[in-house]
Amino acid sequence: MEIRSLTPHLTLIGLLVLTALALAFTVDVTLSDTPGVRMELPSQIDDWSGDELRYSHDRDNPKQYRVSELELPDIDPETGKKLFTMSYAEYEALPHDTEFVKSIYTNNTDGNVFVSIVLSGKERNSIHRPQRCLVGQGNTIVGTERMEIPLAGREPLKVDVLKTERRYRNANGEMQTYYGYYAYWFVGQSRETPSHYERMFWLAWDRVVHSVAHRWAYIAVSGQRADENSQDYKQDMKDFVEKLYPYLLIDHSRHDKS
Amino acid sequence: MQNQTNIKVWSERWRLGALESQELIRIGLVSVMIGLLFMLFHMLGNTVENVNSRSAFTWMVARWGDTISFGADYSHGYFIPFVSLAVLWYRRKEIFSVETWVDWRGLVVVIGALFMHWLGAKMQQTRLSLMSLVLLTWGIPFYLFGWRIAKNLIFPCSYLIFCIPLNFLDVIAFPLRIFSTKIAVGMLNGFGIEAVRSGTAILIPSMPTGMDVADPCSGLRSLLAMTALTAVYAYFTQKTFIKKWILFLSSIPLAVIGNIARIVTIAFVSEALGPKPALGLYHDYSGYILFAAAITAMVIFGGLLNMGFKEMLKKWKFVR
């Protein structure tokens, strides 16, 4: 029997075995448990009052509560069951080590701003592009813009802002349109970007080169636009983010140039 | 022809259980390879835990079956492997008749593909792992049997790429919606129907609340299905490489035109019969009709590409 004629087959088998071993023993990464932002939202930002949100996971009767409405912050007053910081749909769709903080901010002009921080777990897909979930929730994205928000003592913060529209039936059964905006950016370990693809690059880099999965945070600020052509929301959003930003910082994620 | 005879003799010997020990060992080694590939992609292929499986196949099939957001755009994925196999079967004589030899360039492809799979697992990018599987299905025969076999396998192997859910393509969904809506409104006005565009909604007299061109109606789904279909049609019907590509690329405008025609005809039906049948029965089933129309257009265009225009011109001159 000519062993030499079997060499290509044996070479391939050797390579496949080596790859199997590499996959079994070298692809796991260490989860760095330190987030790049504080996982808490302040109860007061200037003249904005914040109220954290909680969700019941009762599939037949899902409800959203403001913490100020609750006697015990994590207990459903109707059922006595545990409340969560994310909706049931989010809990189902995302890895279970994903963490959430959500608050609604209101001010004396009856403005509402919704802020959420999603902190990824070990999984890459704890966070995904808002373009996917917003559309999945029935919104239409009618425009995208990158904006710069001036911050004291550092370079401006870059955020991506989506203009959204959602058609719904009001209490009288008439069709109406909700015009919204959705501003977001991502924060990793000493890294900040509004770009999904840049975040994906750094995630991959850290996993492959350093065998570490950092916990990226996805910060979103959303609210209403007065109408289809309104531009006022831009300055309001910028002012709000400028005030919110210092509360999110932890020491090692500071970008002070001074 | 000699090789074809050899194949027949080999298959007869296989049937009679009269293979040489060297051949049996080779079959055994190929079986081990298939087993290892199964292990690499089914048992170690996916590091994203949301499908509760290490299988790249399970991950992929879960994406095909996902009806939320953009998953439904890839429901054609179920058919793709069968089309690839059919192409292989159709060309089996040609494939078996070529001269074979061990080609070290194929080994480079295999090593690159295996590294890509490792990278995909480490990065939690199962798409990258699936791309590496496509590359391996081509690279392994390339290494074992040489370039002539590999050349014949380029199409059936690369066709498998249509299986891989590339969800980032959704970024073209909104521009497609806007484009289709604008053209449809222009056409409706041209036909004398007073249509107004509001974002991605079209307002017409019979539907003053608007007909929204939603994401599933963006045309992305028909675009992906049409490109997959046209690829295999062009491969079989066109004689030259350039014509194959021209016909393949024509699937993009064909799908878009089909989608615009669907929007426009929904508006026609609404004007004629009212919004209920337009947004109900016609909306639900018109996609099939217009997809069939797009396929007909593809066949006609393919036929035109195959016509010998030079000879026809000569004949025409001769008759005159």
ipTM confidence score: 0.81
**Among A residues 225-244, those touching chain B with beta carbons less than 8 Å apart:** 228
* Residue B4, domain member (yes or no): no
* Binary contact (B44, A16; C-beta < 8 A): no
Q: What angle do CA B116, B117, B122 make, to 5 degrees?
A: 95
* Residue B317, domain member (yes or no): no
Residue predicted with more confidence, A224 or B276 = A224
Are residues B29 and B41 both part of a single domain?
Answer: yes
* Binary contact (A23, B114; C-beta < 8 A): no
Are residues B242 and B155 both part of a single domain?
Answer: no
Q: Is B25 on the interface with A (CB under 8 A)?
A: yes
* Residue A23, domain member (yes or no): no
A44 forms beta bridges with: A49
**Token pair for residue B18?**
């009269």
Structural domain of residue A153, as residue ranges? 30-248
Q: What rounded mean pLDDT belongs to chain B? A: 85
* Residue A6, domain member (yes or no): no
Nearest to B3 by CA among B150, B105, B148: B148
* Residue B320, domain member (yes or no): no
Chain A residues close to B107, C-beta within 8 Å: 8, 11
* Residue A2, domain member (yes or no): no
Q: Is A183 on the interface with B (CB under 8 A)?
A: no
Q: Is A30 on the interface with B (CB under 8 A)?
A: no
Last residue of a domain, one of B96, B130, B165: B165
* Residue A85, domain member (yes or no): yes
Tell me the pTM: 0.78
Is the pLDDT score of B148 beyond 90? Answer: yes
pLDDT attached to residue B218: 64
**Among B residues 253-312, those touching chain A with beta carbons less than 8 Å apart:** none
Measured CA to CA, the distance from residue B54 to residue B41 in angstroms comes to 8
Are residues B189 and B68 both part of a single domain?
Answer: no
Are residues B88 and B206 both part of a single domain?
Answer: no
User: Average of pLDDT values for A141-170?
Assistant: 88
Band (pLDDT 50/70/90 cuts) for residue B144 is very high
Are residues B86 and B189 both part of a single domain?
Answer: no
pLDDT attached to residue A251: 58
Are residues B86 and B63 both part of a single domain?
Answer: yes
* Percent of the residues in chain A that have a pLDDT greater than 90, as a whole number: 45
CB atoms within 10 A of CB A154: 14
Is the pLDDT score of A257 beyond 50? Answer: no
pLDDT tens by residue, B93-113: 888 888 889 999 999 999 999
Q: Is B102 on the interface with A (CB under 8 A)?
A: yes
Chain B residues close to A22, C-beta within 8 Å: 118
Residue predicted with more confidence, B13 or A16 = A16
Q: Is B122 on the interface with A (CB under 8 A)?
A: yes
Is the pLDDT score of B69 beyond 60? Answer: no
Nearest CB to B70: which of A8, A132, A141? Answer: A132
* Binary contact (A16, B124; C-beta < 8 A): no
Measured CA to CA, the distance from residue A238 to residue A232 in angstroms comes to 10
Q: Mutating which of A11, A16, A17 best tests the B interface, going by the most B Cβ atoms within 10 A?
A: A16
pLDDT tens by residue, A14-69: 999 999 999 999 998 888 888 888 888 999 998 899 999 999 988 777 888 999 98
Please give the tally of structural domains in chain B.
2
Residue predicted with more confidence, B174 or A113 = A113
Measured CA to CA, the distance from residue B169 to residue B272 in angstroms comes to 36
Residue in A with minimal Cα distance to B218: A140
pLDDT attached to residue B4: 60
Q: Mutating which of B31, B67, B122 best tests the A interface, going by the most A Cβ atoms within 10 A?
A: B122
**Among B residues 222-251, those touching chain A with beta carbons less than 8 Å apart:** none
pLDDT tens by residue, B39-64: 999 999 988 866 778 999 999 998 88
* Residue A4, domain member (yes or no): no
Are residues B247 and B213 both part of a single domain?
Answer: yes
Chain B residues close to A95, C-beta within 8 Å: 49-50
Last residue of a domain, one of B165, B184, B211: B165
Q: Is A123 on the interface with B (CB under 8 A)?
A: yes
Q: Are strands A48-55 and A64-66 parallel, antiparallel or unpaired?
A: antiparallel
E strands, chain A, are 30-32, 44-45, 48-55, 64-66, 99-106, 112-119, 140-149, 157-169, 175-187, 192-193, 212-214, 217-224
Q: Is A198 on the interface with B (CB under 8 A)?
A: no
Dihedral pair phi/psi, residue A166, rounded to 5°? -140, 125
* Residue A118, domain member (yes or no): yes
pLDDT attached to residue B216: 62
Are residues B64 and B152 both part of a single domain?
Answer: yes
Last residue of a domain, one of B165, B184, B204: B165
Measured CA to CA, the distance from residue A79 to residue A68 in angstroms comes to 18
Nearest CB to A95: which of B49, B123, B140? Answer: B49
- Tokens 């590091």 correspond to what residue? B47
Residue predicted with more confidence, B207 or B273 = B273
Q: Is A3 on the interface with B (CB under 8 A)?
A: no
Are residues B175 and B121 both part of a single domain?
Answer: no
* Residue A146, domain member (yes or no): yes
Are residues B51 and B142 both part of a single domain?
Answer: yes
Contact A192, A255 (CB under 8 A): yes
Are residues B146 and B236 both part of a single domain?
Answer: no
Please give the tally of structural domains in chain A.
1
Contact A103, A23 (CB under 8 A): no
Are residues B147 and B263 both part of a single domain?
Answer: no
Residue in A with minimal Cα distance to B20: A1
Structural domain of residue B146, as residue ranges? 19-165
